[in-house]
Structure 1
């Protein structure tokens, strides 16, 4: 029977034998063979013995026989350009895995640009004009194509018009009873300064950034208990906190699509006047008493006495001034020690500044009692120390003494705070009410992330009301994705993964042993390096997407760099997080 057409191949075999000297030696045999089938059997024919050739030549011959085109090393491939990609890819993977991109709206050019703006805000926050340079220096520029400033502003306008729809979708996802059985919503207010002089929302007001002499806007943030941003409202810079609270409280039930909700706000937000307004709604609320109200509870053998804390660190009390409300008094000894130490420091620092004024009066440089009083008042008001000093001011002299009764009265309440709520004990026990109020710290984390740590919402350069609102909303959405990224990537960062649940309601939670070890060794348990969140984003950015060309051809192709072990793990963590958290 005739043979089929022969096919050549390289056969390499290795064997270990003992030579005459008694030493075990490996022998390599490299044969050029043809294979053919004869009478139903596969047979081989050796054409040449290539054992003397080096391994590189053998591999080249093997590849050539396999049909691969061989070109001279060094001229085969060229990297035409490398662009950072890994950090952008992580943002998109999170957004698409959560269904976030689809929630923004139907696929269109504006949505693509909004997604790119979100990625830029998370990876390299800057002004909109500087963001165009970021696009060009990352794979966003390749994927988007040419983008002008007009394109950016059209996309922002598109986003602003969809704000209510997007916020309703987020509220349904994060506040509906199935995922939010406590029916809790957190709300707090902050401010950021504005550049220019034409923004209609800009006004002088109380600056939470301590930025004096500039106009600002205020914005209220709505979040779930974990601190995931859900909605934001922008107010003129001179809006009082309670006014802003009532404005957004009226929208909460409609946003979430539920009949009852518990709002959590700080003592400056949910005041007695606001509580009266809330009685006309079905909203529950949790807040805290101001220091002056706490002093009234402790005065004249009132219900708030230190003996309440002999056996426990919290106690529920009542008072006729708060009908239909529950008051939960808490005592935190470490907080008491901190306040005592801080008060002593402030008293000493205030006295040093008063001595400076006294020297000016004694030397005759300050001769008018009224002017002296103004300087003294400014000094005492800086740290709210006026209540602790008794002053004597004339045109030629200025003296003071500390008020021991005032200091002692304040010291008696060191470490004590009082939570107030209208939520019944059946729905929320005393310990849980304290935890709920303390969860407001999660909203503070949002503001910290927005302002400086991650997203740099300030300063605000926009000059129209609509663009200002769109900018703040864009930053809120970036904060939403940032929360998920931080949560997903915490096994690779210094974040404490072992916080007790539920937390002890009053005392501060100590850092876990595992988190302390990560911080001291700068390593994870498996020996891999630990990162800050921003440091991890920078590491992800080192995974590039490369534009390649091949010698002898005119086309190009894209090639992603191989991920590092950390980058592999980060992508796996994002996939797992989106799988478990898709709403």
Structure 2
């Protein structure tokens, strides 16, 4: 394809446009040539049929799609088995992908899907399907067959709403469990968080309670169960005024019953575990690694200091205290590990120094007496509790771990416990990257549906992160910029795409299983 510019006296200037090998290539080169011929011309375009000016228009884009991002997220969704688990429900899949791309309200999710290049469902369809995603549209026989029963009105649950999300979420949880290949060596991490609502009055489900975000508004308590890598396995919603220690056993029992597991190792922080919880875990025949409260200086620590006077405990030193079961105890032998960390001791001692300085000012009358554990009041007399100060300084740097595993090694127990950081990371992802706080939802049914969508989105996000080693935020931010477009040139349609950088290309290859 060439453009020949004629000049006086027979001289010519030839501009080469390119070579075509197919009809589509020829149409594209013709369009480029027409644009160059029309460049800079001030011809009045009357939009008449067959007008030459119309031939110089830019080629129309018939579709634009975040193809790489959508295909990658869809790949993760299918690898986890969510397509089969949900009966190929395209509305649910669309809501999950929209939650990952740009978390927003269900109504605004339709805009996100349209901008991504998907055909969004109608808002009426979304609202109608939310009842199904909440697990409310099921009968007791179906629920029992799928491993999750309906809510119990006598226990304060609205009829038809399951705190575990009902049948729909149970299917997703089963797909997640199959993905991680559960077995006796599986580690289960458990933690809770709170999600608050911008309202003044509770409704029996959204209630004021102890808030991890220091909020006074009504909230709900959410319990999350993950494997050792932080991959989500189950999520439960509880009343906002429910104690954290009472949430773990219902989640564990539901999970174990659903998957018929004889034994797993439960890992939880000391704040999650009461003595009743510990006994119940033992009664279920489960193994555990739990954070141990250390109210007083352990005997093994005192003995070591007596044996090594004027010597600092080495950084990372672990004290071992066996706790064998007695003849009448219905439990396994326990082992308690106490680990000393220099950096932990430094932070604790700095906090004690600050509290003591405030207490001294309060005792001297320089400041008002506020809540301070080191200020002791005897009638009208104020003094500093030096006994408590000495005990806390002696405990600085000491953290306890208790397990019922046979022949445990300190590295094994402490290393497994440190994986609780992964479930905390999953909570951070759900609150930030996936905007889990259901600010646009007001009914129990709508909130449960929302948590089901967030649960599935969290699982896909964790799979993406594990597969490529990127954060989900980095992947979405990077991949969404590269779109696939279709251009109409005459009677032909041409597909074009932005060239990918090497790192994104490698990440997409890893997701799709090609190298």
What's the TM-score bracket when you normalise by the shorter of the two chains? 0.7 to 0.9
1:29 equivalent in structure 2 = none
Q: Distance in 2 between matches of 1:103 and 1:349?
A: 61
Show the 5 A alignment for 1:243-254.
Answer: 243-254=246-257
SS in structure 1 of the partner of residue 298 of structure 2 = helix
Q: Is the 8 A contact 1:309 1:315 kept in 2?
A: no
Change (3 A) 1:461 1:68: closer
SS in structure 2 of the partner of residue 458 of structure 1 = coil
Q: Distance in 1 between matches of 2:315 and 2:494?
A: 72
1:331 equivalent in structure 2 = 340
Which of 306, 314, 317 is the matching residue for 2:321?
317
2:376 maps to 1:390:
yes
Give a deviation string over 1:403-437, Cα, whole Å, max 9, x none.
33322211111111111111211xx4232111111
2:437 maps to 1:448:
no
Change (3 A) 1:214 1:175: farther
Q: Distance in 2 between matches of 1:306 and 1:123?
A: 60
Q: Distance in 1 between matches of 2:172 and 2:22?
A: 58
Which of 178, 197, 202 is the matching residue for 2:206?
202
Q: Is the 8 A contact 2:76 2:511 kept in 1?
A: yes
Name structure 2 gaps, 5 residues minimum: 2-11, 36-55, 136-167
Q: Distance in 2 between matches of 1:400 and 1:126?
A: 53
Q: Distance in 2 between matches of 1:538 and 1:164?
A: 31
Which of 67, 70, 73 is the matching residue for 1:88?
70
Q: Distance in 2 between matches of 1:152 and 1:350?
A: 57
Give a deviation string over 1:249-293, Cα, whole Å, max 9, x none.
21232233321122111112122121222332111221122131x
Which of 119, 138, 153 is the matching residue for 2:127?
153
Show the 5 A alignment for 1:475-514.
Answer: 475-490=454-469, 493=470
Q: CA deviation at 1:206?
A: 0.6
2:93 equivalent in structure 1 = 115
1:521 equivalent in structure 2 = none
Q: Is the 8 A contact 1:262 1:285 kept in 2?
A: yes
Change (3 A) 1:304 1:486: farther
SS in structure 1 of the partner of residue 222 of structure 2 = strand
Q: Distance in 2 between matches of 1:249 and 1:568?
A: 41
1:549 equivalent in structure 2 = 488
Change (3 A) 1:331 1:558: same
2:56 maps to 1:78:
no
2:194 equivalent in structure 1 = 191
Change (3 A) 1:302 1:151: farther
Q: Is the 8 A contact 2:188 2:267 kept in 1?
A: yes
Show the 5 A alignment for 1:388-537.
Answer: 388-391=374-377, 394=380, 400-425=382-407, 428-452=408-432, 454-490=433-469, 493=470, 533-537=472-476
Q: Is the 8 A contact 1:176 1:257 kept in 2?
A: no
Change (3 A) 1:474 1:137: same
Q: CA deviation at 1:117?
A: 1.2
Q: Distance in 2 between matches of 1:279 and 1:165?
A: 28
Relative to the length of structure 1, the TM-score reads: 0.67
SS in structure 1 of the partner of residue 400 of structure 2 = strand
Change (3 A) 1:415 1:405: same
Q: Distance in 2 between matches of 1:240 and 1:65?
A: 71
Q: CA deviation at 1:306?
A: 8.5
Q: Distance in 2 between matches of 1:412 and 1:540?
A: 52
Q: CA deviation at 1:455?
A: 0.9
Q: Distance in 1 between matches of 2:341 and 2:307?
A: 12
Show the 5 A alignment for 1:28-427.
Answer: 56=16, 59-60=18-19, 68-69=26-27, 71-73=30-32, 74=35, 75=56, 77-79=59-61, 82-96=64-78, 98-107=79-88, 111-140=89-118, 143-144=119-120, 147-161=121-135, 162-177=168-183, 182-196=185-199, 197=201, 200-211=204-215, 213-292=216-295, 295=296, 297-298=298-299, 313-319=317-323, 324-348=333-357, 354=362, 358=365, 376=369, 379-380=370-371, 385-386=372-373, 388-391=374-377, 394=380, 400-425=382-407
SS in structure 2 of the partner of residue 328 of structure 1 = strand
Q: Which has the larger radius of gyration?
A: 1
Q: Distance in 1 between matches of 2:360 and 2:70?
A: 54
1:564 equivalent in structure 2 = 501
Count of aligned pairs between the two proteins: 441
- Higher mean alpha-carbon deviation, 459-468 vs 76-85, is at 76-85
SS in structure 1 of the partner of residue 347 of structure 2 = helix
Q: Distance in 2 between matches of 1:278 and 1:190?
A: 21
Q: Distance in 2 between matches of 1:210 and 1:168?
A: 34
- Higher mean alpha-carbon deviation, 539-548 vs 80-89, is at 80-89
Change (3 A) 1:448 1:66: closer
Runs of 4+ in structure 1 off by over 6 angstroms are 64-67, 302-306, 320-323
Name structure 1 gaps, 5 residues minimum: 1-8, 10-51, 361-374, 494-531
